[in-house]
Each structure stands twice: as C-alpha cells, then as structure tokens.
Structure 1
Amino acid sequence: MSSPVAEREKPVVADERLATPVVRRKSVGRPGRTRGVGARGLSVGKVAVQSSAVLILFAIVWEVAPRVGLVDPTFLPPLSTVVETLFDLLANGQLQQHIFASLSRALQGFAIAVVIAVPLGLLIGWYRPVAQWLNPALELFRNTAPLALLPVFVLILGIGETSKVALVIYAAVFPILLNTISGVRNVDPLLIKSARSLGLSPFRLFQKVVLPAALPTIFTGLRLSAAASILVLIAAEMVGANAGLGFLIMASQLNFQIPAMYAGILTIALVGVVFNLILVNIERRLSRWRVDPTS
C-alpha cells in the first residue's frame, strides 16, 4: 500500500494527452504566399510579353507590307523610313518645337479643366439641389461635339492661342466632370452610414470617406480627358496654326512629305502614352489604400 504522503506527491493527470509536451514545429516560410507572389510575377510577365508581342507584330507588318508590295510605299512608307525621318526631325529641332507648342496648349487647357471640373463634379455629386439646377445645361453642352464649336471659338476668340486652349478646356471638362459625379454618387452607402455612426461631421465624412472612395473614378475621367484634349488640339492645329503636331501633320501631307506625316502621328501616340503613364503613377500614389486584386 502506498503511503498518504506518496499519494499527495504523485501528480494528478486527467488525460495522458494533456501531459504530453507539445512540440511546435518552426515554420519555415509561407509556401502559399510564395506561390502567390510567384504566380503574380508570372502573370504580369505574361501580360508584358503578350503586349510586346502585339506591338512587335504590328511593327513587323508595317515594315514588311510596303516592301513586298501589299501597300503602296508612296502612301505608307516602311516603319524604318518613318523612324529615320523622326530622328531627322529631332536632329534639326523641328519636332521639339512642335511638341512644345502642342504640349503647352494641351497642358494649359487640361489644367484649367481639372480646376473647373473636379470641384464642380464633387459639388454636383454631393448636393442634389445643385445637380437639379445644373443637369439640364450639362446635358445640352456635353452632347455638343467640341470640333463643331471650333468655328465659334475662332470667331469669338480669334485664330490665336486663346481659341485653341478654350477648345481644349471644353473638350476636357466633361469627361472629368461626369466621372467625378459618378464617383461621388456611387460611394458604398455602408461606408457613409458607418462614418456617420462614428460621429464624423459632414466635412470630415466627405474628406475621409467620399473623396478617397471616388478617387479611382475621378482618375478615370482624368485619363479620358487627357486623351480627348490631345485629339481635339491636334484637330484644331490642323485648321489654323503655325506650330504644333497637328500643323506638322497637315503641312507634311500638303507638301507630300509622307514619312514626316507619319512621324508626327507616331509622336502623338508616344506623347499620349507618356501622358497616360504619368496619370496612372499619380493615381497609384494617391490610392495606396486600395487592395490589389492580383495580389
């Protein structure tokens, strides 16, 4: 028989599994996350390769088609000829002059359009009475093509720089304005209710909830507006200007300098791509709170 003292000193174990020491394995890395990063990198690389492949194929077709006689090289010279002419225009300084003239007009009009359209869109989207007053006028003007008003701008403001900048403003305002209104009105109501339940004032609610939620849609309007401003400006420069990419294209076409004409068109495409990349990078910096769906 065991003594009472021995019984008191014997540990009481209710379950042998509880007495078994738990050995935790040290986790080495996170395979799931590593595979996610690798898959994301592969997907981004695949998209980049596909995009580059399409551009390379387009360049090959442009180069080969005139040389094998599929199209008349007089009216569509090979890409190498166009690129050579582009570098010649860069070397003699003509292309820089035309780019500067077009960019100065486009940036002035775009900046003024942003200053006008973003606050007005926020106001219309947030306050219903303002929308009721201004919607009829907006519907009337936004359905009027900017190029149809070019003679009006020229008659009122003259054929100089003012009419071209005003036309760019008119063309750039509405994409920004409509997307800003849509962004404000489509904010998740649950976010607004949650912010109000926390006691945020209307100003803080608009600043902390509505404006950040509407920012991606606003930047979509900015990108559309940037493209529209360049296109409208080029058309205006073709009608009446002594400098600019539109003037370069029209003058080259009239003088039958076809490679220079295509060089101007290629320059417009490159300027538009750079403009769009700048806006995309600004949007990413201002929208770091957004969750990347590919991650």
Structure 2
Amino acid sequence: MKQVVKNAYWPQVVGSAAWLFTAGLTYLIPNADEFPRTITFALVCLGIAVLSAISLPLNKVRYYGAWILALAFFIGIWEVIQAKLLLLPRPFFGAPQELLDVFITDWYKLLNSLAHSMMLLVGGYILGCIIGFVIGVGMGWSKLFGYWAHPVLRFLGPLPPVAFLPLLFAVIPSSFVAGELLMAFAASFPVAVLTWSGIAGVNPSYYDVAKTMGAKPLFLIRHVAIPAALPFVFVGMFMALGSCFYMLVVAEMLGVKAGLGFYMQWAQGWAAYPNMYAALFIMAVMCTSFMTLLFKVRNRLLRWQKESIKW
C-alpha cells in the first residue's frame, strides 16, 4: 500500500492546484469582516502550492500527497465559511489568517511559553521515570523491597496526580517545583509497574547461565534483568509521557504562571480565541515531537523489535 501511494503523482498534483485555488479565493474574494494578514495568508498558500509542485519528484513528499490535498481542501473550506461568509460566531471561531496573525505578532510570548512548558515537562518526566524505574527494579528483584513498596504503590499509585494539586501548591512556595513534582508522580507509577513486570518476567534460565559463568547480583541486574525488561520499561515510559502531557496543561492552567497552558488560560480570559488555538497547535506539535523522539530512542535500543510498534 505504501509503495502504491509513493508512486501516485495525482494527489500531490491536485493538492498543489488546490493550494493555488485557496490562495486565489483568499486574495480575490472580499472578506465578510476585517481579518488581518489576508494578503500574507494568500502568499503563504501560494508558497505551499509552489513547494508542493517543486517537490513532486521526491518520493517522501509524494507519499503525503493525499494529506497535502486534504489540508488544502480543509483550509479552503475554512476560509470560505468564516472569512468570506462569516457563518460561525465570533470571537469563538476565527479565520485562518487570524491564526497566522497570532504567530506573526505574538511569536515571542508563544516561544517563551513553549520554553517554560518544555522545562516543566522534561524535568518532571525525567525525574518520574528515574524514580519509577528504580522502584520497579527494586520490586522485581528484591522480595524484601517489594514487601514494603508494593502496598504503598497500590495505595498511592492509582490516585490521580491532580488530586495533590491544592496540597502541593499550598505547601511548596514555588509553583514550578510543585508542577515538577506533580508530573514526576504522574510518570513514576506506570514506569514502576511496567518495569516491575518486566524484571519479574525475565526467564530464570538467563540468570542460571550467567551464574554458571560467575556473574554477581549487580551484574545480573545490569546486564541480564534490565536489558530483558526494556520492552516493558519503554511501554511504561510511553504511558508516563501521556500522563505528563495531561498534568502539564492542568498544572499550568491552575498554578504555574508560565507556559502554554497558562497562555491558553490567559487567551480564553481575554476572549482571544485565535491565540488559544495557536497555543493548542504548538502544544500538539511539542507533544508529538517528544513522543516521536522517545520512539526513536526505543527503536535504537531495541533494534530487534523495531517493526513491532510504530509511531
């Protein structure tokens, strides 16, 4: 199927024509209201049409030809419905050029919010993964450690991290540190459970073979148990990343005074809905980029399972 799509020229050709048509209707048909950056948006659509036409010989771009066509169709319909006919109520729904205007005029605030969100997300996620990994290895390897840690994990782990939000923001003066701890808690539970399952499920014969060659317990943990449990660990890390995305928005909307979630809350309060949609778009790009990066790390470490799970 993928090869058939790569060899099909017509979706990209029609997509280029559709973007050219969208540029024409944006520029030539009068707007129903005053929308900024209309000419700039028409030029952007024209540029996409030219780039799509130029890149026609490239197989990688041609594979996404159907998406180029679909996006041109979606943007054109959106432009007609809102900018030309004004069928949707304002300010809740804006035109495509209003979204472009936000990226041009408010790029610094958006970039600053993205930087704060990334710092909060990366710090909390890494801390939570480390804590969860250590707990999971301890529970899977040591019965004594599991005796004490298992009840605590069962009692606190299923609690939604957002339940601790009022307590942490009241006890910890720094809202940023409180948000980091919330995301660390959200990430640690799935990583701990999946790491524990992976360590506990290692084939005992692996240990026996290593022991006959004089392997010590530390060697068994580092070179036998952990490598064999890595597929489970990465599943837990994927689940933890999704939990951190959720907690990032909640923490920034309710406590942290910076970041994309805070920007969205601010935009909604001022009825600046194009700004809110721009922040939502950037957040989606950020989240999918982190997930893609994590999959690339997984595919490099687990080469034998590269084709089993794809993103």
TM category (shorter chain) comes to: 0.7 to 0.9
| One-letter amino acid of the counterpart of residue 235, structure 1 | V
1:12-23 equivalent positions in 2, closer than 5 A: none
CA distance in 2, matches of 1:205, 1:82: 55
| One-letter amino acid of the counterpart of residue 102, structure 2 | T
**CA shift for structure 1 position 107:** 1.7
1:47-99 Cα distance to aligned partner (Å, 9 max, x none): x9888857974784476257437754642334554244234322xx1111111
CA distance in 2, matches of 1:171, 1:293: 26
CA distance in 2, matches of 1:143, 1:233: 18
Conserved in 2, the CA contact under 8 Å of 1:67 and 1:73?
no
Of the three residues 100, 103, 111, the one matched with 1:86 is 103
CA distance in 2, matches of 1:193, 1:44: 50
| One-letter amino acid of the counterpart of residue 202, structure 1 | P
1:125 to 2:140 alignment: yes
1:94-133 equivalent positions in 2, closer than 5 A: 94-133=109-148
| One-letter amino acid of the counterpart of residue 88, structure 1 | T
Conserved in 1, the CA contact under 8 Å of 2:91 and 2:271?
no
Other-structure match for 1:140: 155
Other-structure match for 1:250: 265
How many residues are paired up?
A: 252
CA distance in 2, matches of 1:98, 1:265: 12
Of the three residues 178, 181, 186, the one matched with 2:196 is 181
Unaligned runs of 5+ residues in structure 2 are 8-59
Conserved in 2, the CA contact under 8 Å of 1:66 and 1:73?
no
SS state of the match for residue 179, structure 1?
A: helix
- Shifted more, 105-114 versus 140-149: the winner is 105-114
**CA shift for structure 1 position 100:** 1.1
RMSD: 3.2
| One-letter amino acid of the counterpart of residue 158, structure 1 | P
**CA shift for structure 1 position 138:** 0.7
- Shifted more, 104-113 versus 269-278: the winner is 104-113
Change in 2 beyond 3 A, CA 1:291/1:251: closer
Conserved in 2, the CA contact under 8 Å of 1:175 and 1:222?
yes
Other-structure match for 2:176: 161
Other-structure match for 1:68: 81
**CA shift for structure 1 position 150:** 0.5
Other-structure match for 1:25: none
SS state of the match for residue 180, structure 2?
A: helix
Of the three residues 206, 216, 221, the one matched with 2:231 is 216
CA distance in 2, matches of 1:52, 1:140: 50
1:12-35 Cα distance to aligned partner (Å, 9 max, x none): xxxxxxxxxxxxxxxxxxxxxxxx
Conserved in 2, the CA contact under 8 Å of 1:63 and 1:79?
no
1:37-52 equivalent positions in 2, closer than 5 A: 42=3
SS state of the match for residue 215, structure 2?
A: coil
Of the three residues 267, 288, 292, the one matched with 1:277 is 292
CA distance in 1, matches of 2:72, 2:139: 46
Relative to the length of structure 1, the TM-score reads 0.73
1:207 to 2:222 alignment: yes
1:244-283 Cα distance to aligned partner (Å, 9 max, x none): 1111000101100001001111111111111112212222
Conserved in 2, the CA contact under 8 Å of 1:63 and 1:80?
no
Conserved in 2, the CA contact under 8 Å of 1:66 and 1:76?
no
Conserved in 1, the CA contact under 8 Å of 2:161 and 2:247?
yes
CA distance in 1, matches of 2:290, 2:68: 19
**CA shift for structure 1 position 145:** 0.9
| One-letter amino acid of the counterpart of residue 247, structure 1 | F
CA distance in 2, matches of 1:142, 1:63: 47
CA distance in 1, matches of 2:222, 2:169: 41
| One-letter amino acid of the counterpart of residue 64, structure 1 | I
Percent identity over the alignment? 25
CA distance in 2, matches of 1:72, 1:193: 70
SS state of the match for residue 209, structure 1?
A: helix
Other-structure match for 2:186: 171
**Highest Rg: 1 or 2?**
1
| One-letter amino acid of the counterpart of residue 229, structure 2 | A
Change in 2 beyond 3 A, CA 1:94/1:130: same
CA distance in 2, matches of 1:190, 1:224: 30
